[in-house]
Amino acid sequence: MVTLVVQAYWNYKNYLVNKDNFKTEMQEVLDNALEKYYINIVRKKDISLVASTHKFVQIEGDVHVAEEAEIDKFSNQFTDSIEFQLKQAKSPNTIFKIHDNLMGAKEGADIGDFLEDSLRLNPNQISSVSVFKNDTIKDNLQQRITSIFISFQEDTINFQKLDTLLRAELDSRDFHFPYAITQFKKDTVYRTFNAGVVDESFLKAKSQSNYIDEGEAMEIAFPNARGIILKYSFLGIFISVLLALVIIGSLFYLLRIIKDQKELSEIKDDFLSNITHEFKTPIATIHAALEGMDTFNALDDAARAKRYVQRSRVQLEKLSEMVEKILETATLESSSIKVTKEEMCINTLIRSILGDFRSNGGDKVWDVTLPEEEILIFADTFHLENAIGNILDNAVKYGGKRITIKLLKEDTLRIVIADNGCGLTKDQATRIFEKFYRVPTGNIHNVKGYGIGLYYTKNIIEKHNGTVAVRIGSGITTFEIRLPYE
């Protein structure tokens, strides 16, 4: 039980870890979408002024040459990337451009070495101006050239375009669920996209993208997708569940073994109690006969002595029979018993067995149905007689007043023995052919037996390639034997 609790706790902690991993992945999805969004903005909104080693040879974007302007803030020494702001020019709608006269002449040119011209733009729309040189220029630009990128500010995000990029990112990860996007400015909700899909169970992740301005934030809300979270730890959960099932199965198996051992112990105790009772009766009778002969001078009375000896002989025969049955059971267990099949008439065998039981069956009513045709089979007469006799003996001991016997010739030979005692439960009926099993009666021994008769019957019938079964129902207990003819 402790192991199962530990497994459950471990799986829960693992679930929480994977839940955080899922949130992190959703943050990466949002970051990637924002990066692509702003890259697309740069491609469409930026003006790129590309220079060769001596002068600008290409101007990208819709610009017009105007008058001069001055740089307000800059770094005098070029690095891989320089950003600077513009000072108010003579015209409010102007911005400068730089001619590179010295690129290639020396490493690390000063800004003062560059000439200034103006481009007609609105400075209020410009967020930054970047200068890149040498191998920092990408996207099919030649090496050792200088480029100025002018980026325009945008206060609002086009959620429709961002939604398209987000959906593509989610599809690439096989994530298919609704989500909402919220834009914050100074910790206040500025705009929300698809807010109607959000409920209390939704998880949230904030973007860590460098493209977002200071004081702003972007957040994505998404369902608590337990299926996706569990998929992260499928192997761990599978192993844990498998281990739990093994533990539970082992516990049930152990409980079954304990139950079987307990029942086996009860059967053993019941067998010992019964056989002790059966042995004590003839021993006590013999002891009484010997004591009578000694006490009453039976040797002087030949008739009395003969009576005592005869009584002792009968009891000794009973003892011998009991020992023989126990030894016979051991022989069956070792499978060393042999059956010798010979052609015999089953009708004659049944009549012979019934003759013995009718003479000792008391007030039992026998309902016997035998076909007029003599049925011949190949069987061991001695063992088959004992096997059928054990079932009849069981019916006499535990059955009701009426015992029915039917002999049926079909594809196989059927011998049906039924009584109206119905003293068995269904659970007891499934175990009645087990060795030493007897219907529990506590310490009451009003019916003699050792629990080996029906076990013997089952083994003998099976050695004849037949079957024996018991059915309980409608107040009737029915034993059915099926035997092949050969």
Specify if 371 maps to a domain: yes
pLDDT at position 137, please? 36
Task: Please report, rounded to a whole number, the percentage of residues in the chain having pLDDT higher than 90.
Answer: 12
Task: Please report, rounded to a whole number, the percentage of residues in the chain having pLDDT higher than 70.
Answer: 68
477 and 459 assigned to the same domain = yes
Give the tokens for residue 242: 């498998």
pLDDT at position 461, please? 92
Residue ranges in 149-233 assigned as alpha helix (H):
159-172, 226-232
| pLDDT, the chain, mean | 72
pLDDT at position 349, please? 92
DSSP string, 24-61: HHHHHHHHHHHHHHHHHHHHHH-EEEEE-SSSEEEEES
Q: Which residue has the tokens 């089953």?
A: 346
311 and 389 assigned to the same domain = no
Q: Is 221 helix (H, G, I), strand (E, B) or coil?
A: strand
116 and 138 assigned to the same domain = yes
Burial of 361 (0-12, 13-18, 19+ CB in 10 A): middle
Specify if 185 maps to a domain: no
Band of the pLDDT at 441, cuts 50, 70, 90?
Answer: low
Is there a contact between 402 and 419 (Cβ–Cβ < 8 Å)?
yes
Beta-carbon-side half-sphere exposure of residue 73 (alpha carbons within 13 Å):
7
| Residue 460: pLDDT over 70 | yes
328 and 394 assigned to the same domain = no
User: Cβ contacts of residue 64 below 8 Å, gap of 6+?
Assistant: 119, 120
Specify if 1 maps to a domain: no
| Number of structural domains found in the chain | 3
pLDDT tens per residue across span 314-337: 888 878 877 876 776 666 655 567
Q: How far is CA 44 from the centre of its chain?
A: 55
295 and 350 assigned to the same domain = no
C-alpha closest to that of 81 among 122, 134, 28, 10: 134
359 and 454 assigned to the same domain = yes
Residue 265: which domain range? Answer: 234-333
Band of the pLDDT at 346, cuts 50, 70, 90?
Answer: very high
Q: What is the mean pLDDT of residues 174-187?
A: 87
Specify if 29 maps to a domain: no
Which range has the top average pLDDT, 72-86, 302-316, 318-332, 438-452? 302-316
Q: Which residue has the tokens 């910790």?
A: 187
| Separation between Cα atoms, residue 376 and residue 408, nearest integer Å | 12
| Separation between Cα atoms, residue 483 and residue 486, nearest integer Å | 9
C-alpha closest to that of 69 among 43, 34, 97, 31: 97
Q: Which residue has the tokens 């030949």?
A: 302
CATH number at residue 255: 1.10.287.130
Amino acid found at 312:
S
Point out the domain boundary residue: 110, 135, 152. Answer: 152
Is there a contact between 110 and 76 (Cβ–Cβ < 8 Å)?
yes
346 and 329 assigned to the same domain = no
Specify if 468 maps to a domain: yes
Residue ranges in 67-194 assigned as alpha helix (H):
159-172
Specify if 13 maps to a domain: no
Total H helices, total E strands in the chain: 9, 20
pLDDT at position 328, please? 66
pLDDT at position 265, please? 81
Q: What is the mean pLDDT of residues 252-264?
A: 88
Specify if 210 maps to a domain: no
479 and 363 assigned to the same domain = yes
414 and 456 assigned to the same domain = yes
pLDDT tens per residue across span 118-175: 443 444 444 444 444 433 333 433 333 344 444 444 556 788 888 999 999 888 888 8
Name the more confident of 318 and 46: 318
User: Cβ contacts of residue 86 below 8 Å, gap of 6+?
Assistant: 69, 71, 72, 95, 96, 123, 126, 129
Specify if 358 maps to a domain: yes
373 and 446 assigned to the same domain = yes
pLDDT at position 480, please? 94
Point out the domain boundary residue: 108, 124, 152. Answer: 152
Model-level pTM? Answer: 0.43
C-alpha closest to that of 84 among 76, 73, 95: 73
pLDDT tens per residue across span 293-305: 777 776 677 787 8
302 and 377 assigned to the same domain = no
Is there a contact between 201 and 224 (Cβ–Cβ < 8 Å)?
yes
388 and 424 assigned to the same domain = yes
pLDDT at position 147, please? 42
Point out the domain boundary residue: 126, 152, 178. Answer: 152
